[in-house]
Amino acid sequence: MIPDDLTRALAAMLGDRLSTGKSDLALHGRSETWHPEMPPDAVAYPETTAEVAEVVRLCAARGVPVIGWGTGTALEGHASAPRGGVTVDFRRMDRVLEVLEEDMLVRVQPGCTRVRLNEELRATGLMFPVDPGADASVGGMASTRASGTTALRYGTMRDHVRGLEVVLADGRAIRTGGVSGGLARKSSAGYDLTSLFVGAEGTLGLITELTLKLHGQPEAVAAAVCAFPDTASAIGCVIDATAMGIVPARCEFVDAATVAILNDLDGAGLPVGPHLLLEFHGSDAGVAEAAERFGAAATDRGGAGYAWATEAEARTRLWDMRHRAYHTILRSRPGSTAVVTDVCVPVSRLGEAIERAAAAVAASPIPGPILGHVGDGNYHAILLVDRDRPEELEEAKRLSDAMVRDAQALGGTATGEHGVGLGKLHHMEAEHGAAWDVMGLVKRALDPEGVMNPGKLVRGN
């Protein structure tokens, strides 16, 4: 419970934009995966940076946790409130503030979602390409250093955040990337604080404004699908194509189990077996050339049924199906929840990593379809567990931990894009060694009372 005087002070400032309703608290304690519900004591809906700063100041003075909330789609219990406190929901700070067309930049508030940002950009000929599937907020995406299906061609949030406005634990609002907000293409002026806050999961401060890099909308887009005899051939094809200089905008792997589910529940109509789903961006001629050359690389690796098309309808059908895949997989086992793995390894080791993961899942009693952004070396096993059978959750965590250890031994990481939150915390020491202690030092320097999203990302937080 938070102190009454804090509730009164917050209510005096925010009025009905402070919520203590039971269902709202429950909603802000929930996760999209297996993590138990951990609700805050109150939810604040600020409209300005000054209000965010005041919320933080009031909470910090009383040692009360403050947790940022974008759209709550993070998968490792990131935005839950294990120690209670006040969740700051950014949905009312969602404006596109300024599009700098010639500089290909946009200044935007953190609660704006990526889909709405792209809707607002449509007429300019520009786009924001980072696509984690879910319609996440740009503040949440920066805070998890998200990526998704388009990272191979365009990069991750790390490559797209030029500058930030951040409210620190002491209530100060600072700008990273210089006081102008990171408008210059490059800068050698001091520590890169922008990078420090990108991926900090709200443990160092709350992001109240972002300057993001944009790209031109492609003149032409083609989508392609190809079946492969096995995982190794599919990954081998991606490696060959990369060596040939073909960089698809999206390059997604789905294993046979995933295809079977998409056929049953989403009418995919694909032959059951591993597939690559691809998209190419460029000029009409460039897209046609890349699609044809990728097809030749696929044939060399035993690929079958390779087909590509530029019609918007076919593309939309394919990527809508891919974006729905997580929830379709959940529906394949009614009443289930999931432990979602997110390891990322050097692409040269990806085939063996996926094969070992698939063998471990096959030897276990729980289903675990595998899909992923294989051009980046990143795959996800969706380990489906019955909510009422704790032994299944334990088995899924065992499988997930084994995949992480395997990835780390291959030179990879526990999490390519989802982040640490609560669920990957126990892998951070092995992943970072002494550098994890340094993260703790940074945390304590910026948040000595430990009020910013406590319990996540660093040791003893």
Ligand X SMILES: Cc1cc2nc3c(=O)[nH]c(=O)nc-3n(C[C@H](O)[C@H](O)[C@H](O)COP(=O)(O)OP(=O)(O)OC[C@H]3O[C@@H](n4cnc5c(N)ncnc54)[C@H](O)[C@@H]3O)c2cc1C
CB of 166 to ligand X, least distance (A): 8
* Candidate list 60, 134, 222, 256; residue touching ligand X; CB under 6 A: 134
CB of 304 to ligand X, least distance (A): 27
DSSP codes joined into one string, 130-186: ---SS--BHHHHHHHT---TTHHHH--GGGTEEEEEEEETTS-EEEESTTTTS-SS-
Length of the chain: 461
**Scanning the structure block, which residue is given the tokens 């120690």?**
83
* Candidate list 133, 155, 171, 178; residue touching ligand X; CB under 6 A: 133
* Candidate list 35, 59, 71, 412; residue touching ligand X; CB under 6 A: 71
Determine the residue with CB nearest ligand X: 140
* Candidate list 34, 69, 128, 308; residue touching ligand X; CB under 6 A: 69
Alpha-carbon distance of 54 to 170, in angstroms, equals 10
Query: According to the binding rule CB under 6 A, does residue 39 interact with ligand X?
Result: no
CB of 134 to ligand X, least distance (A): 4
Q: What 3-state class would DSSP assign to 380? A: strand
Instruction: Name 160's Cβ contacts closer than 8 Å, sequence gap at least 6.
Output: 128, 130, 154, 212, 213
Query: According to the binding rule CB under 6 A, does residue 406 interact with ligand X?
Result: no
* Candidate list 2, 66, 105, 136; residue touching ligand X; CB under 6 A: 136
Binding mask of the shown chain, residues 87 to 116, with x at each position contacting ligand X by CB under 6 A: ---x-------------------x------
Query: According to the binding rule CB under 6 A, does residue 148 interact with ligand X?
Result: yes
Query: According to the binding rule CB under 6 A, does residue 341 interact with ligand X?
Result: no
Task: Name the segment binding ligand X (CB under 6 A); options: 115-123, 129-137, 275-283, 344-352.
Answer: 129-137
Query: According to the binding rule CB under 6 A, does residue 143 interact with ligand X?
Result: yes
Alpha-carbon distance of 206 to 247, in angstroms, equals 35
Nearest to 308 by CA among 326, 296, 324: 296
Q: Which residues in the 293-332 window bind ligand X by CB under 6 A?
A: 326
Q: Is the distance from CB of 84 to CB of 106 less than 8 angstroms?
A: no
Q: What 3-state class would DSSP assign to 99? A: strand
Q: Which two tokens stand for residue 99?
A: 């599009």
Alpha-carbon distance of 382 to 345, in angstroms, equals 18
Chain residues binding ligand X by CB under 6 A are 32, 67-75, 78-79, 90, 110, 132-134, 136-137, 139-141, 143-144, 146-148, 201-202, 206-207, 326, 417-418, 453
